[in-house]
Amino acid sequence: MKAEIVSIGTELLFGEIDDTNATYISRQLTSIGIDVNLRHAVDDELAHIVQVLGTAMRRSDVVITCGGLGPTPDDLTRQAITQVTNRALQTVPAAEQQLRDFFAKRHRKISSTNLKQCQVPRGGQLLDNPVGTAPGLLVEHEGCVLIAVPGPPPEMRLMMTKHVIPYLRKRLQEQGEMPLFTRTLRTADIGEADLAEQLKDILANQSDPALALYASPGEVRIRMHTKAPSQQEANKKLGDLENSIRQQIGEHVYGTDDETMEVAVGKVLTAAGATVVVAESCTGGLIASRITDVPGSSRYFRGGYVTYSNELKQQLLGVPAQILQQHGAVSEECARAMAEGARESSGADYALAVTGIAGPTGGTAQKPVGRVYIAVADEQGTICQQFDWPGTRSQFKHRTSQMALNMLRKRVLGLV
Amino acid sequence: MKAEIVSIGTELLFGEIDDTNATYISRQLTSIGIDVNLRHAVDDELAHIVQVLGTAMRRSDVVITCGGLGPTPDDLTRQAITQVTNRALQTVPAAEQQLRDFFAKRHRKISSTNLKQCQVPRGGQLLDNPVGTAPGLLVEHEGCVLIAVPGPPPEMRLMMTKHVIPYLRKRLQEQGEMPLFTRTLRTADIGEADLAEQLKDILANQSDPALALYASPGEVRIRMHTKAPSQQEANKKLGDLENSIRQQIGEHVYGTDDETMEVAVGKVLTAAGATVVVAESCTGGLIASRITDVPGSSRYFRGGYVTYSNELKQQLLGVPAQILQQHGAVSEECARAMAEGARESSGADYALAVTGIAGPTGGTAQKPVGRVYIAVADEQGTICQQFDWPGTRSQFKHRTSQMALNMLRKRVLGLV
């Protein structure tokens, strides 16, 4: 089954916002085995929307539009669908009642433009939107399913998982198509080229499951996918391939699928029944913020010290003045002292400390921009590693946080 | 002048990565007054690329492709352009020499697939790529300029600013088109609907400069744009409109154009010669991380306390046990005590403190998920505000950090 996605909104074409909705919808469709061959973004011009929709519907089995369902005059998706399908708009009474209740509860007056949100091209259906006012639309037309979802990401996501994906999964089954199963292994501390080199035999000989590497800053994902009649058969194929890969590069795999590094760290800390504290200089709180992105992190995260100034390094972490004078704040000695001081003053089992030069200025010949020291202290002692990253200030912060969390993870697991 | 952008790469259609390149190119073209009406993403299938390119070139004056210029077999952009323009490929000797030198310097063997990067459709030209091996391509064909830039973002960005934008700006001038000038006012602590209501007379009557509102979590941007023969005339028109807008809602404007809230905060602190410290509970370090995203923030940022546990709130910030027992960690009393304790122990001029319930669990009937208290302490005393945010954990963290930074900014300016 082939799909196209049409994102609607002039702000996209101005480059005012990233089209993350298109990414999300692509990923959702791909995950159930629908091929997304083409995606479009089009501005709020009725003629443009109609043209793109018409072509897409002739070419593909499924067309999903995102955005332009609101009540304002530049929300033209409903009108465009009416025009492309050449069907009259009809009001859905139940939806109208729901919208009237929504406004009445908030003591707001409902307008005729609001009410047009309850209309659907003849033969189509509305998709319930529990977190916003704009329902979605679904209409089958000349062999193509056209689905319109709203643009605000929380509304779009809920509608995709609640209505669109179940509907399409059922349609795939009815057509006898085998579902797609994917598995992703997430690696850190190895580059894409090294990974490709170490996996070259597997990469060369693999066609089912298919295998691909995707690099992003601080991580490379190994994505496997296969079509199979059942989850069980898919698991067998994906599991065999995963085992071969792990035999080659298993030490670098920190998680699977949607598991982020901070989630992986939370898991190993929870399993060990251990707590952590962080002491950050150059990352400025990013490591603590990532750890606390995980719901329930208060169970293992004691807290953090963002010691940007030398005074706070001394005052809060007890870094000796002599280390700062002799080696400087960006030094292995300082990183170790920060980790040990944070662990001692907080009583946590593990302490993670980073100090470095995020740039763009502040580097010297001996300690260039991009230099960072990462230390982990626990009851067995303290380990420390030096890194030199290329890239911008924000890349530096992200890479450092990723590598630091991975060092902590490996330390808790006894791998380093 | 009308443009279309074609992003090429199967990983986009899988939803493995956001197409931030398309956003960047859209913004660059828009900034010089080129209308981007349509954007496409297409997988690494020659037939698909050829079809999309052909349609785009018939419809638009400029078509920019991004990606698919590398040496591997799935890099098909060059081949697609050759097919669409029906021109033979020719090798550019200077480019070949440069590439041979590049490989020789690195003691790597050059292959015939590498050499195809030095080929260009007859009549076209290569665009130099100083940070990668894949040069860009530019070919004029039947009234349309087709430009191909590589996919890695740093290479794409450099090629856009160095070659593509100057080329297109010159072309616009030759065609007698007036350049576009934009100005954006960034607001916080007011919603899109309220802003639209307060600006309704201006919004209704404005056509040149054109005016639009864009909402994203925690902020609404007011974007103005106009075409004018000179910067001076544009400044006059944009300045007049900006003044009218500021008269209505000036108190909510925190910055202009690319100025983020953390940059705005840095400016007011620098101007005041003041320092700040932060004490975070529910935001877990995000506020400190945002402040330190700004180069040079060490001049005014003393550091931060991420006091996730009650123990650390007492130990580091001196929050009285009685407050925690009587009012709880999520309370106005605790937020005030955190701010005052952080200010005192660090010696900073301002202290910003937040405590709340990020969710998804941990709420009660009296203190639901989304509740947060934000306090700012300075020598004049302490102010505190309560908020209740809807949304996810990450939206909660972002909104709270945005509102907290804005409260700090207003306090430093004497507005609250």
pLDDT band at A217 (very low <50, low <70, confident <90, very high): confident
Same domain, B197 and B296: no
Answer whether residue B205 shows pLDDT above 90: no
Which DSSP symbol is given to A257? T
Cβ distance A39 to B12 less than 8 Å, yes or no, reads yes
Give the pairing of strands A62-66 and A144-149: parallel
Q: Interior CA angle at B393 toward B392 and B394, to 5°?
A: 95
Cβ distance A37 to B16 less than 8 Å, yes or no, reads no
- Mapping DSSP to helix (H, G, I), strand (E, B) and coil, where does residue B368 land? coil
Answer whether residue B191 shows pLDDT above 90: no
| From B128-137, B321-330, B352-361, the region with the lowest mean pLDDT | B128-137
pTM of the entire predicted model: 0.86
User: In A, which residues are within 8 Å of B45 by CB distance?
Assistant: 37
Cβ distance B22 to A41 less than 8 Å, yes or no, reads yes
Neighbours of A97 (CB within 10 A): 11
How far is it between the farthest Cα atoms of chain B? 82
Long-range contacts, A379-383 (Cβ 8 Å, 24+): A379/A349, A382/A336, A382/A339, A382/A340, A383/A407, A383/A411, A383/A416
Domain boundary at B174, B205, B224, which? B174
Asked, as a colleague might, if the bond just before B121 is cis with ω within 30 of 0, I would say no
Are B26 and B20 spatial neighbours (Cβ–Cβ below 8 Å)? no
Helix (H) or strand (E) holding B240: helix B231-249
Same domain, B208 and B229: yes
Give the list of residues 6+ apart from residue A175 with CB closer than 8 angstroms, or none: A1
Say which of B19, B214, B315 has its CB closest to residue A16: B214
Answer whether residue B57 shows pLDDT above 90: yes
pLDDT band at B133 (very low <50, low <70, confident <90, very high): confident
Query: Percentage of chain A with pLDDT > 90?
Result: 74
The CATH number covering residue B96 comes to 3.40.980.10
User: If you compute the radius of gyration of chain A from its CA atoms, what whole number of angstroms results?
Assistant: 26
Domain boundary at B156, B174, B192, which? B174
Give the list of residues 6+ apart from residue B324 with CB closer than 8 angstroms, or none: B310, B313, B314, B334
Taken as a whole, chain B contains a residue count of 416
pLDDT score at A105 = 82
The dihedrals phi and psi of B39, each to the nearest 5 degrees, come to -135, 150
Give the pairing of strands B253-256 and B276-280: unpaired
- Mapping DSSP to helix (H, G, I), strand (E, B) and coil, where does residue A107 land? coil
Q: Is A24 on the interface with B (CB under 8 A)?
A: yes
Domain boundary at B145, B174, B203, which? B174
Same domain, A294 and A210: no
Same domain, A236 and A359: no
| From A77-86, A129-138, A282-291, A328-337, the region with the lowest mean pLDDT | A129-138
The rounded distance, in Å, linking the Cα atoms of B177 and B188 is 36
pLDDT score at A120 = 92
The neighbouring-strand residues paired with A155 are: none
Cβ distance A293 to B43 less than 8 Å, yes or no, reads no
**Nearest partner of B21 among B33, B35, B34, B9, judged by Cα:** B9
pLDDT (mean) for A262-275: 98
The CATH number covering residue B313 comes to 3.90.950.20
Same domain, B18 and B126: yes
Same domain, A276 and A399: yes
pLDDT (mean) for B92-117: 84
User: In B, which residues are within 8 Å of A359 by CB distance?
Assistant: 295
Cβ distance B397 to A293 less than 8 Å, yes or no, reads yes
Answer whether residue B82 shows pLDDT above 90: yes
| From A242-251, A262-271, A378-387, A390-399, the region with the lowest mean pLDDT | A390-399
pLDDT score at B392 = 84
pLDDT band at B273 (very low <50, low <70, confident <90, very high): very high
Window 254-313 of A: residues touching B by CB (8 A cutoff) are 278, 280, 283-289, 291-293, 295-298, 301-309, 311-312
Q: Is B36 on the interface with A (CB under 8 A)?
A: yes
The rounded distance, in Å, linking the Cα atoms of A269 and A272 is 5
pLDDT band at B60 (very low <50, low <70, confident <90, very high): very high
Residue from A1, A16, A220, A299 to probe the interface with B (highest B Cβ count within 10 Å): A16
How many domains does one find in chain A?
A: 3
Cβ distance B11 to A214 less than 8 Å, yes or no, reads yes
pLDDT, tens digit, 9 for 90 and up, residues B5-21: 999 999 899 998 899 99
Structural domain boundaries enclosing A344: 261-412
Say what the ipTM of the complex is: 0.86
Same domain, B275 and B401: yes
Same domain, B149 and B96: yes
Answer whether residue A154 shows pLDDT above 90: no
Taken as a whole, chain A contains a residue count of 416
Count contacts between A and B (CB, < 8 Å).
Answer: 241
Same domain, A243 and A378: no
pLDDT, tens digit, 9 for 90 and up, residues B228-266: 888 899 999 999 999 999 999 999 999 999 899 999 999
The CATH number covering residue A238 comes to 3.30.70.2860
pLDDT (mean) for A55-66: 97
Are A331 and B341 spatial neighbours (Cβ–Cβ below 8 Å)? no
Q: How far away is chain B from the Cα of A200, in angstroms, using its nearest Cα?
A: 15
Mean pLDDT of chain A: 93
Same domain, B15 and B85: yes
pLDDT (mean) for B157-184: 92
Say which of A10, A26, A154 has its CB closest to residue B15: A26
Answer whether residue B73 shows pLDDT above 90: no
Answer whether residue B117 shows pLDDT above 90: no
pLDDT, tens digit, 9 for 90 and up, residues A296-341: 999 999 999 999 999 999 999 999 999 999 999 999 999 999 999 9
Same domain, B385 and B243: no
Cβ distance A289 to B397 less than 8 Å, yes or no, reads yes
Are B60 and B143 spatial neighbours (Cβ–Cβ below 8 Å)? no
Same domain, A136 and A210: no
pLDDT score at B14 = 92
The rounded distance, in Å, linking the Cα atoms of A404 and A389 is 13
pLDDT, tens digit, 9 for 90 and up, residues B371-391: 999 999 999 999 999 999 988
Mean pLDDT of chain B: 93
